[in-house]
Amino acid sequence: MTAPVFVVDVVPGGPEFVLDGPEGRHAVSVKRLRAGEDVVLTDGHGRWVEGVVKAAEGKDRLVVTDIAEVREEPEPTPRITVVQALPKGDRGELAVETMTETGVDEIVPWAASRCITQWKGERGLKALGKWRATAREAGKQSRRVRFPRVADAMTTKQVVAFLAEVDLGVVLHEDRGYGSEPLASAELPSSGRIVLVVGPEGGVSPEELAAFTQAGAKTCRLGRTVLRTSTAGTAATALLLTRTGRWS
């Protein structure tokens, strides 16, 4: 089993480091790590080190020693972003969790016209904070050292401008009548940015679809079945990671 991952503000250069606070408490009281076990310390932005537990002190202090040289994981390419329409309930956090575990690089919350949930004021800030916390925890659980960025929520107009600047924009759409082609056979760039747009449970509106395609995006379908908004982004990300060679 790979070593558990813990987040630090600054990746230590060694030779010894004390992990305390919430991360130390999680390591000592939840993971119950003991002397001799391996750990990974990361800033979540690609920099990381390996170390060995020297001692667990109290309930929230983990002393790490034998810290190796700091490494940096390069930015992946092509970079995969999912523009995720706001689901209702906790399905947004489910989508963020599974997309993070799968390997998405960026998640953009989208206030689509058919979204039941709307992020406004303090409620919106709280919801965005939950998405970011979920990405952080899922990044740790899946042993990532470069966590996905969760951007501020975008309007449809902002998504249109975003799609106009990427190497490939794809709107997931199940209706063949809109000329959607299989994502499994769509031509993909070997580098740059790929952006997937996942609509709400009510679907992408005709007006939104027209705006996205005018910005250069194409419509693609995943398969014969119709996935929920909370799972479509994860399935599409997995397909792209396989096709681009990032999973090979």
Which CATH number is 5-72 given? 2.40.240.20
pLDDT at 224: 85
**Predicted TM-score (pTM) of this structure:** 0.94
Question: pLDDT value at position 178?
Answer: 62
Question: Which residues in the chain show pLDDT less than 50?
Answer: none
Note the pLDDT tens digit of each residue in 147-157.
999 999 999 99
In the chain, which segments carry CATH 3.40.1280.10? Answer: 79-244
- DSSP collapsed to 3 states, the chain: CCCCEEECCCCCCCCCEEECHHHHHHHHHHCCCCCCCEEEEECCECEEEEEEEEEEECCCEEEEECCCCCEECCCCCCEEEEEEECCCCCHHHHHHHHHHHHCCCEEEEECCCCCCCCCCHHHHHHHHHHHHHHHHHHHHHCCCCECCEECCCECHHHHHHHHCCCCEEEEECCCHHHCCEECCCCCCCCCCEEEEEECCCCCCCHHHHHHHHHCCCEEEECCCCCCCHHHHHHHHHHHHHHHCCCCC
Q: Domain 79-244 carries which CATH code? A: 3.40.1280.10
pLDDT digits (tens, 9 = 90+) for 151-205: 999 999 999 999 999 999 999 998 766 667 999 999 999 999 999 999 999 899 9
Portions of the chain given CATH number 2.40.240.20: 5-72
